[in-house]
Amino acid sequence: MNRTIYADWNGQRIKLTWLPGGEQPDPALVTSVHGICLHQGLVLAVHVQGRGYNVPGGHVEPGETPEEAFHREALEEGSVKGMISYLGKMEVSHEENDKFDPNGKYPMIGYQLFYRMDVTERLPFNREHECLSRIWVEPEEFGYVVNDHELVGRVLREALQKEGKRR
């Protein structure tokens, strides 16, 4: 599978490139954080209102590190806590997007950071945020359940192979 694809995000042509491992980019270029949450061999999928099933994630709030933001998002969207490790980044390029607004909230080239979470606590799911439900999916079924571009499957494979240091 290619590491680069083109996606249509609300009528805009976006170039996405998966860059496993490596250094994290300048925090000013991080547009969001996301993660693969694993528990007893299953993967967490959350039903985000208006978007279908996806992995937990969202924007970094002022004063948060990307790691803190992912912990918060996993708790808000999936009601889980755990130990995380950095997997890599998705480069989001608007260079070929003729509708790109240079004065908008996103940079011409930004990054979504991805983490693996080994879930240590599954809390009651409370629907307090934008997620309607959570389900635990076998990794082989992930691509049939999650409503996102194909590079997320590549991120899942990285997460399943990743072992080592976690925070």
What pLDDT does residue 165 have?
45
pLDDT classification of 163: cutoffs 50, 70, 90? low
More confidently predicted of 150 and 33? 33
What pLDDT does residue 2 have?
61
| All structural domains of the chain with their residue ranges | 4-161
To the nearest whole number, what is the mean pLDDT of the chain? Answer: 91
Mean pLDDT over residues 37-60, rounded?
94
pLDDT classification of 50: cutoffs 50, 70, 90? confident
Q: What is the pLDDT of residues 63-78, one digit of tens each?
A: 999 999 999 999 999 9
Question: In the predicted model, is pLDDT for residue 11 greater than 50?
Answer: yes
DSSP string, 93-160: E-TT-TT--TTSSS-SEEEEEEEEEEEEEEPPP---SSEEEEEEE-GGGHHHH--S-THHHHHHHHHH
Handedness of CA 112, 45, 157, 86 (dihedral sign): positive
What pLDDT does residue 146 have?
92
The structural architecture, per CATH, of the domain 4-161 is: Alpha-Beta Complex (3.90)
What pLDDT does residue 167 have?
46
Q: What predicted TM-score, i.e. pTM, was given to this entire model?
A: 0.92
